[in-house]
């Protein structure tokens, strides 16, 4: 995925300003930044939910502005922030919705669709809960069910907007570990937006830091997460220590 000169906004407000970014295939890229920096807006532009004021987003060399909605849905899947599940929907039915881009309205459910749903449920360890209602799941299981839906969509590019929102730390670690494994094992391009810097640094292969709608740093977690950057971009006084090979942020007390 390649982003060139991308500018995005709402009404008169410019939120993302002339962003250039190349996302690596087979890796987990995490976008971080202060509240209001444009993280989710950038993801909306990358998924064509928001029309750019300028610039382009290319998937495999093709401008997403030039492809049909169905073709784009076969190339790219988006998991929105805090998705709302309709009442009474089972886990299996939710995941089956990921197959919609691959089926015309007149086509019947196929063995290939069945296999895709089963693989996705197995990947997130929810195959035995497929007949249960989504509302009966724990927070972590519910997020894994939504992740299974975008996996069943069977795209090469996955965009995850705050996939750990409202999750406790154990479930957040579970979801991020799964996102990284998906990228590495299937050579997919996975992009996530996170607020938690330590969680991002623990699982990301590549980090992108946004501030006021512009990229201020990119690179590996070791390169990006520094005390100087935390102070400059987040206004945070903190030490950065290494835990199990990854940087971790430890805020210092204000005296």
Q: Which residues pair with 214 in a beta bridge?
A: 211
pLDDT tens, position by position, 73-112: 999 999 988 788 888 899 999 999 998 887 766 667 788 8
Residue 64 is predicted with a pLDDT of 94
The total number of structural domains that make up the chain: 1
pLDDT tens figures, 105-133: 666 778 888 999 999 999 889 999 999 99
Domain containing 236 — which CATH number? 3.40.50.300
pLDDT value of position 226 = 95
As a residue count, the chain comes to: 255
- Residue among 107, 72, 109 at smallest CA distance from 92: 109
**DSSP notation for 23-78:** PPTTSEEEEE-STTSSHHHHHHHHTTSS--SEEEEEETTEEGGGS-HHHHHHHEEE
216 band by pLDDT with thresholds 50, 70 and 90:
very high
User: Residue 253 — φ and ψ, nearest 5°?
Assistant: -75, 140
Write down the pLDDT at residue 189. 94
Give the mean model confidence (pLDDT) for residues 189-212: 95
In this prediction, residue 148 carries a pLDDT of 92
Instruction: Taking residues 216-240, report their average pLDDT.
Output: 94
Residue 30, both tokens = 């995490």
pLDDT digits (tens, 9 = 90+) for 140-192: 888 889 999 999 998 999 999 999 887 888 888 988 998 999 999 888 999 99
Residue-level pLDDT at 85: 80
Q: What integer pLDDT is reported at residue 248 of this predicted model?
A: 93
pLDDT, position 86: 81
> Mean pLDDT of all residues in the chain?
91
pLDDT surpassing 70 at residue 255: no
**Beta-sheet strands, E only, within the chain:** 2-10, 13-22, 28-32, 54-59, 62-63, 76-79, 157-161, 189-193, 206-211, 214-219, 238-243, 246-251
The pLDDT of residue 106 is 64
| pLDDT reading at 138 higher than 90 | no
**Residue 68 in contact with residue 44, Cβ under 8 Å?**
no
pLDDT over 90 at 38, yes or no = yes
Return the pLDDT at 34.
94
Q: What percent of the chain has pLDDT over 90?
A: 73
Name the DSSP letter for residue 204: -
Contacting residues for 213 by C-beta, under 8 A, at least 6 apart: 14, 15, 16, 17, 19, 37, 38, 41
Cross-strand pairs, 7: 54
- Find the domain containing 92 and state its range: 2-251
What is the structure's pLDDT at 111?
Answer: 85
Convert the pLDDT of each residue in 41-73 to its tens digit: 999 999 999 999 999 999 989 999 999 999 999
β-bridge mates for residue 219, sequence order: 207
């Amino acid at each position: 995925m390649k982003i060139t000169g991308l500018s995005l906004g709402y009404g008169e407000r410019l939120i993302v300003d002339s962003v250039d970014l190349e996302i690596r295939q087979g890796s987990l890229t995490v976008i971080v930044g202060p509240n209001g920096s444009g993280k989710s807006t950038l993801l909306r532009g990358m998924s064509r939910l928001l029309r750019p004021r300028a610039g382009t987003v290319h998937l495999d060399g093709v401008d997403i502005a030039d492809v049909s909605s169905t073709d784009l849905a076969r190339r790219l899947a988006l998991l929105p922030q805090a998705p709302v599940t309709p009442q009474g929907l089972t886990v299996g039915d939710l995941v089956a919705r990921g197959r919609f881009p691959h089926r015309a309205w007149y086509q019947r459910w196929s063995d290939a669709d069945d296999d895709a749903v089963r693989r996705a449920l197995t990947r997130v360890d929810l195959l035995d809960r497929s007949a249960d209602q989504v509302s009966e799941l724990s927070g972590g299981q519910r997020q894994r069910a939504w992740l299974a839906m975008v996996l069943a969509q069977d795209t090469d590019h996955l965009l995850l907007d705050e996939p750990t929102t409202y999750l406790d730390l154990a479930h957040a670690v579970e979801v991020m570990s799964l996102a990284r494994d998906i990228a590495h094992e299937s050579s997919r391009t996975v992009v996530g937006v996170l607020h938690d810097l330590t969680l991002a640094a623990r699982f990301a292969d590549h980090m992108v830091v946004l501030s006021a709608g512009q990229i201020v740093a990119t690179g590996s977690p070791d390169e990006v997460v520094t005390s100087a950057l935390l102070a400059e971009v987040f206004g945070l006084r903190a030490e950065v220590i290494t835990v199990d090979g990854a940087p971790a942020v430890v805020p210092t007390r204000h005296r």
